[in-house]
């Protein structure tokens, strides 16, 4: 999950919205499910930064993971902690997805680490 914090002005809110919509569209247009999602996300954000000339730090983007846990009887998805470092979020995503494939004990341990 990627989002921008509350905006102080309408102009700032529109800028945040445009960034998030453009990111989603670039990923949807160029992403194959066999591709690395993290690399696709980075490429989309880099493209937007290069085209706009605006550093991404200006937006104060936050991210966290959301992973479906229904196969283990949990009614819904789990979330990681929100943070400003996309590298942390992508590493958490890789870890929790690998753990999910390892079964409940592995998934549970990785989930606890996220808390």
Output the pLDDT for position 101: 94
* pLDDT value, residue 59: 87
Pairing of strands 66-68, 77-79: antiparallel
Handedness of CA 14, 48, 53, 82 (dihedral sign): positive
Average pLDDT of span 90-96: 94
Per-domain boundaries in the chain: 2-63, 66-114
**pTM score, two decimals?**
0.81
Q: What's the pLDDT at 105?
A: 96
Mean pLDDT of 86-106: 94
What pLDDT does residue 115 have? Answer: 85
Measuring CA to CA, how many Å separate 26 from each of 16, 22, 29?
15, 6, 5
Tokens (6 digits) for 45: 């954000």
Maximum separation of any 2 CA atoms in the chain, in Å: 47
Grade residue 31 by pLDDT with cuts at 50, 70 and 90.
low
Helices 10-30 and 37-52 cross at an angle (nearest 10°) of 130
Mean pLDDT value across residues 16-27: 91
Mean pLDDT (whole number) for 3-29: 90
pLDDT in tens, 51-92: 988 888 888 899 999 999 999 999 989 999 999 999 999 999
Burial class from Cβ neighbours inside 10 Å (0-12, 13-18, 19+) for residue 111 reads buried
Angle at 10 between CA 4 and CA 88, to 5 degrees: 10
Non-local (6+) Cβ contacts of 39 within 8 A are none
């Amino acid at each position: 999950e990627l989002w921008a914090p509350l905006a102080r002005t309408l102009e700032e809110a529109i800028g945040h919205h445009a960034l998030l919509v453009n990111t989603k569209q670039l990923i949807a247009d160029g992403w194959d499910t066999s591709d690395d999602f993290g690399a696709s996300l980075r490429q989309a954000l880099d493209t937007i930064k290069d085209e706009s000339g605006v550093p991404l730090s200006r937006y104060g983007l936050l991210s966290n993971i959301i992973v479906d846990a229904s196969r283990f009887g949990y009614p819904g998805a789990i979330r990681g902690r929100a943070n400003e470092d996309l590298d942390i979020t992508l590493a958490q995503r890789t870890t929790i997805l690998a753990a999910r494939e390892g079964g409940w004990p592995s998934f549970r341990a990785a989930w606890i680490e996220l808390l």
